[in-house]
Amino acid sequence: MKIPNQYKSLEYVHDIEWSDIFSVWRAYEAYQACWREHWIERGFDSWDEWRNNYILPLSPESKEWKIYKIKDLKMIGEFYGVPSRGWIKKCYNGEITKKLGDILDHPMIKDNKKIDAIMKNSPYQTMLTGIVNDGKIVLVEGMHRVCALALMAKDDVKYSGDIVIALAEHKGEISKIGKGSNN
């Protein structure tokens, strides 16, 4: 996988299996009451069922995943946001995705309680998930955490934790993730 030049401060760490990425994602979200309400609202019986449906359009099990360390927090503004229905409708003006650096002043980011809470109590370690597509990194998981980190970088707030991103190459057009009859 070729990492695009604008992300040159990413440092390869190791390969990883999709099942391990999914387990980390579950550990971040599945226990939170707000996400439980989210999956129940959409007609799913569990966090696993909801998130497996969400990520299905990317066929993550068929990809080769690699972990990269993010060495420069400022680079995060060059990532693109998750191509999900909610973000497209509420923050991207109907586009499939937008560069994070271009949406940091949007009310959905600035007035977001989840993002604010993460900024006030940022995790020492975190793993994001994304794809490399057409010369850019597009997040597929970790949007609230990455927005908090991008705001911190924009405001020159010190962050001494470890941030990694699991990446896989995705060829072809990016479609909305989170498709399905219930989402």
Reported as a single tens digit per residue, the pLDDT across 48-73 is 999 999 899 899 999 999 999 999 99
b/e map 86-99, b = 16+ CB within 10 Å: ebbeebbeeebbbe
Are the C-beta atoms of 44 and 121 separated by less than 8 Å?
no
pTM exceeds cut of 0.75: yes
- The structure tokens listed for 146 are 């990455």
Helix axes 47-55, 18-29, angle to 10 degrees: 130
> pLDDT-based confidence at 158, cuts 50/70/90?
confident
| pLDDT at position 67 | 98
Are the C-beta atoms of 47 and 32 separated by less than 8 Å?
no
Please say if the pLDDT value at position 101 is more than 80.
yes
Please say if the pLDDT value at position 182 is more than 70.
no
Partners of 99 in beta bridges: 80
Please say if the pLDDT value at position 121 is more than 60.
yes
Are the C-beta atoms of 65 and 166 separated by less than 8 Å?
yes
Integer Cα distance of 88 and 65 in angstroms: 25
Are the C-beta atoms of 25 and 51 separated by less than 8 Å?
yes
| pLDDT at position 181 | 34
